[in-house]
C-alpha cells in the first residue's frame, strides 16, 4: 500500500450510517415499490397491465445494447491484468483451476436443484406475442439448418470480421475476440501491456457507467414486468416467482455452507468465521446490492488477515470476473425456470450443453447490478434452438426482470463470499498465507479493521507500478 493511501483520511462512519439509514434513496427500495405497485395494478386492472409489457421490453433492449462491450472489456481486463501467465506461475494456475472447479460446482448445483424443485412447473400458459411469432419461427428454421462441429465453429464460433460480432451482437464470437485480444495483450512488454489494459479498463468504466444509468429504470421495468405477468397470467403466477426466489436463495445458502464450507475446512479454516470477519462488507452489499463497493476494502482486509499481497492482488480482482458462484447458480436456475414456465422439458443432453455454454458466458457477468440479467439474456440468445426461441426468451426475461433485483442480492453476496474463500484457499495452496495472523483475524475480526481505516473508500490503486493491483472497479461488481 502506498504512503499516500496510508495517510489518506478514513471515511466518516457517521456519513456511511446516514446513507444506509435513508432507505428511500436506495434503488432496491424503489424496485420493491415497483413490484408492489405492479402486483396491485395487475390484480386491479389486468387489461391495462397487459399493455405495460413495453416497459420491461425497453429495459431489456437497453441492456442488450451493451452486452457485447461488457463481455469484451471484462474478459480482456480479467485475463490481461494477470500479466504473463507463465510469469505468474503457480498463483495463476491454481487460481484459474480453482475458479473453473467452483464454476462447475455452482452451475451443477443450480441445475440439480432446479430440476428437483421445478419452480416453473405449472406456470400459467404464456400468451404468445403476435409481433414476434414470425421472427421466432424464422429463428427456429435457421437454427435447424446444418449441423456438426465444423459448421458450428465456422458459422457460430469464429468471427468473420472484427466489428461484425459487435454489430450483430453475437456473444460467442465476441468471447473469441476477447480471448484472442487478451492473449495478445499478455505477451506485450509490461509498460505497454499496462497502457493497453488501462485504456480498455477506462472504456469499460464508461460502459459500466451506462449500465448504472440504465439500472435507474429497473423500478419501472420491475413494475411493468410484474404488472404484465399478473395481469396476463393471473395472481397464481406469483407463487412460481416466489418459489424461484426461495429456491435460488436456498441454493446459494447450500453452496456457501456445504461446498465453500467443505473447501474452507480442507484449507484449515471455518467459513462462518470468515463470513464474520467480512460482516461489514456483507452489510454494505446488502445496502447497495453491488459487490463492486467492497473490492477496495477486501483487498486491504484479506492482506491484513494473512494472505500475501501478490495472491490478494491477483486472485481477488480476477475472481470478480472469473469466479461468480452466485451468478452461475442464478444462470442455470433462471434458464431452466424459463423453459419450465414455457412447458418445455429439456433433455439432460441439452441442459449439459447449456451449462457448457454458461461456463464461457458467465465470465462476462461481472459488473453492476443487472449484469446477471444481461448475461442470462445473452446466454439464451447464443444457445437458441427450438427450446429458446426469440419469443420465449423475450417473455421469459420480462417475467424474471420483475424479481431480478431481489435475486441480485443473493448473487452479490455469494460471489463475494466465494471470492474471499478463493483468496485464502489459493494463498494456502501457494504457502504464502500467514496462518497465525489468519487465525487471529478469524477469532477477532477487530484486528483487521485498522487496515480498512487506512484505505480511501473507492480507491484500488495499491501500487501504481503493479499491473495486477491496478484493477479498478469498472469491471467488477454484482452479476
Q: Which residues contact 155 (CB under 8 A, 6 or more apart)?
A: 146
Domain locations in the chain?
A: 34-475
Tell me: pLDDT of 382 over 70: yes
Range 24-29 average pLDDT? 68
Q: Which of 448, 474, 395 shows the shortest CA–CA distance to 129? A: 395
pTM surpassing 0.85? no
Residue located via cell numbers 491477483: 314
* Residue, of 217 and 63, whose pLDDT is higher: 217
Low-confidence winner among 11-20, 47-56, 157-166, 365-374 (lowest mean pLDDT): 11-20
Task: Enter the C-alpha cell of residue 213.
Answer: 444509468
pLDDT for 124 = 67
Give pLDDT tens digits for 250-283: 999 999 999 999 999 999 999 999 999 988 778 7
* Residue, of 168 and 104, whose pLDDT is higher: 104
Give pLDDT tens digits for 205-242: 888 778 778 878 878 887 887 788 777 666 656 777 88
CB 393, CB 379: distance < 8 Å? no
Residue located via cell numbers 501457494: 430
Measure the CA–CA gap between 109 and 23, rounded to whole angstroms: 34
Measure the CA–CA gap between 188 and 193, rounded to whole angstroms: 5
pLDDT for 464 = 39
CB 133, CB 275: distance < 8 Å? no
pLDDT for 122 = 72
What is the topology classification, in CATH, of domain 34-475?
A: 1.10.3860
Measure the CA–CA gap between 237 and 396, rounded to whole angstroms: 13
Residue located via cell numbers 451468478: 327
Say if residue 342 is exposed, middle or buried (CB neighbours under 10 Å; 0-12, 13-18, 19+). Answer: buried
Low-confidence winner among 6-20, 121-135, 251-265, 342-356 (lowest mean pLDDT): 6-20
Say if residue 160 is exposed, middle or buried (CB neighbours under 10 Å; 0-12, 13-18, 19+). Answer: exposed
Amino acid at each position: 500500500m502506498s504512503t499516500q493511501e496510508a495517510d489518506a483520511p478514513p471515511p466518516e462512519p457517521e456519513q456511511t450510517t446516514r446513507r444506509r439509514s435513508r432507505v428511500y434513496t436506495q434503488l432496491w427500495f424503489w424496485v420493491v415499490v415497483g413490484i408492489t405497485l405492479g402486483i396491485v395494478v395487475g390484480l386491479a386492472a389486468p387489461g391495462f397491465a397487459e399493455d405495460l409489457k413495453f416497459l420491461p421490453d425497453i429495459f431489456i433492449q437497453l441492456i442488450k445494447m451493451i452486452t457485447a462491450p461488457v463481455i469484451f472489456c471484462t474478459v480482456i481486463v480479467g485475463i490481461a491484468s494477470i500479466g504473463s501467465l507463465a510469469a505468474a506461475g503457480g498463483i495463476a494456475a491454481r487460481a484459474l483451476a480453482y475458479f473453473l472447479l467452483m464454476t462447475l460446482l455452482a452451475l451443477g448445483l443450480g441445475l440439480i436443484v432446479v430440476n428437483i424443485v421445478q419452480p416453473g412447473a405449472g406456470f400459467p400458459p404464456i400468451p404468445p406475442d403476435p409481433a414476434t411469432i414470425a421472427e421466432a419461427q424464422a429463428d427456429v428454421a435457421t437454427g435447424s439448418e446444418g449441423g456438426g462441429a465444423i459448421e458450428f465453429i465456422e458459422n457460430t464460433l469464429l468471427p468473420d470480421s472484427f466489428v461484425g460480432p459487435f454489430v450483430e451482437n453475437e456473444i460467442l464470437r465476441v468471447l473469441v475476440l476477447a480471448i484472442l485480444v487478451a492473449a495478445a495483450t499478455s505477451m506485450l512488454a509490461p509498460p505497454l501491456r499496462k497502457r493497453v489494459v488501462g485504456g480498455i479498463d477506462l472504456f469499460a468504466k464508461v460502459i459500466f457507467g451506462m449500465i448504472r444509468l440504465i439500472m435507474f429504470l429497473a423500478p419501472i421495468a420491475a413494475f411493468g414486468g410484474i404488472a404484465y405477468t399478473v395481469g396476463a397470467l393471473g395472481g397464481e403466477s406469483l407463487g412460481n416467482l416466489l418459489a424461484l426466489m426461495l429456491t435460488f436463495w436456498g441454493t446459494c445458502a447450500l453452496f456457501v455452507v456445504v461446498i465453500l464450507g467443505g473447501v474452507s475446512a480442507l484449507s484449515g479454516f471455518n467459513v462462518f468465521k470468515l463470513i464474520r470477519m467480512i460482516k461489514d462488507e456483507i452489510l454494505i452489499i446488502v445496502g447497495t446490492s453491488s459487490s463492486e463497493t467492497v473490492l477496495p476494502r477486501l483487498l486491504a482486509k484479506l492482506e491484513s488477515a494473512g494472505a500475501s499481497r501478490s495472491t490478494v492482488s491477483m486472485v481477488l480482482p480476477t475472481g470478480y470476473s472469473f469466479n461468480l458462484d452466485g451468478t452461475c447458480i442464478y444462470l442455470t436456475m433462471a434458464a431452466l425456470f424459463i423453459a419450465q414456465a414455457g412447458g418445455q422439458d429439456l433433455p439432460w443432453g441439452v441442459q449439459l450443453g447449456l451449462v457448457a455454454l454458461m461456463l464461457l458466458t458467465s465470465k462476462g457477468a461481472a459488473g453492476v447490478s443487472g449484469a446477471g440479467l444481461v448475461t442470462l439474456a445473452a446466454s439464451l440468445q447464443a444457445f437458441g434452438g427450438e427450446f429458446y426461441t426469440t419469443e420465449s426468451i423475450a417473455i421469459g426475461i420480462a417475467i424474471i426482470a420483475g424479481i431480478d433485483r431481489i435475486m441480485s442480492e443473493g448473487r452479490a453476496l455469494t460471489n463475494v463470499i466465494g471470492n474471499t474463500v478463493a483468496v485464502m484457499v489459493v494463498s494456502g495452496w501457494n504457502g504464502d498465507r500467514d496462518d497465525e495472523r489468519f487465525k487471529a483475524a478469524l477469532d477477532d475480526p477487530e484486528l483487521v479493521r485498522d487496515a480498512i481505516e487506512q484505505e480511501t473508500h473507492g480507491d484500488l490503486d495499491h501500487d501504481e507500478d503493479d499491473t495486477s493491483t491496478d484493477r479498478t472497479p469498472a469491471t467488477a461488481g454484482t452479476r
